[in-house]
Amino acid sequence: MGTPAKPVEARRHFLLEIWEEKRELFKLLVGDALLALTVLFILLVLFLGSRILEKSGYASERIGMFETLHYWAYLIVLVMLLVDLIMKLFIALFLDKKP
C-alpha cells in the first residue's frame, strides 16, 4: 500500500494575498488620500467663496490678495501631504515599521 496523497491546499485569490501582505501600506495610502481630498475640498469651498465675493462686487484688490493666499495654501498643503506620504512609505517599505 502506498502513502496517502496529501490534500491540495486551496489557492487563494491573488487580491486577497496582496491584501494580507500589504494591508498596512494600503491603509496608509487610503488614509492619506482621504486626508488630501478633505483638505482640497475645503480649499475648493474657499475658492467658490472668493468667486461669490467677486460677483457681489467686492474690491478687486482684496480679492487678489485672497487669491494669492489661496494659491500659497494649495502649495503648502500639497507639499505637506506629499512629504508626509513619502515619509510613511519610506518607513513602511524600507524600515518595516508601523508609522
Q: What is the pLDDT of residues 17-73, one digit of tens each?
A: 777 777 777 887 888 888 888 988 988 898 898 889 889 988 888 888 988 988 998
Asked if residues 28 and 99 have their Cβ atoms less than 8 Å apart, the reply is: yes
Q: Residue 32 and residue 47: Cα distance in Å, rounded?
A: 22
Count of residues making up the chain: 99
Q: Does 83 map to a domain?
A: yes
Q: Does 30 map to a domain?
A: yes
The stretch 85-97 carries a mean pLDDT of 80
Q: Does 99 map to a domain?
A: no
Count Cβ atoms within 10 A of the Cβ of residue 28 and give its class: 0-12 exposed, 13-18 middle, 19 or more buried: buried
Tally of domains in the chain: 1
Q: Does 15 map to a domain?
A: no
Q: Does 87 map to a domain?
A: yes
The stretch 4-26 carries a mean pLDDT of 73
Q: Does 82 map to a domain?
A: yes
Interaxial angle between packed helices 23-55 and 60-94, expressed in degrees from 0 to 180 and rounded to the nearest 10:
180
Asked if residues 32 and 99 have their Cβ atoms less than 8 Å apart, the reply is: no
Q: Does 64 map to a domain?
A: yes
Q: Which domain holds residue 52?
A: 24-94
Q: Does 61 map to a domain?
A: yes
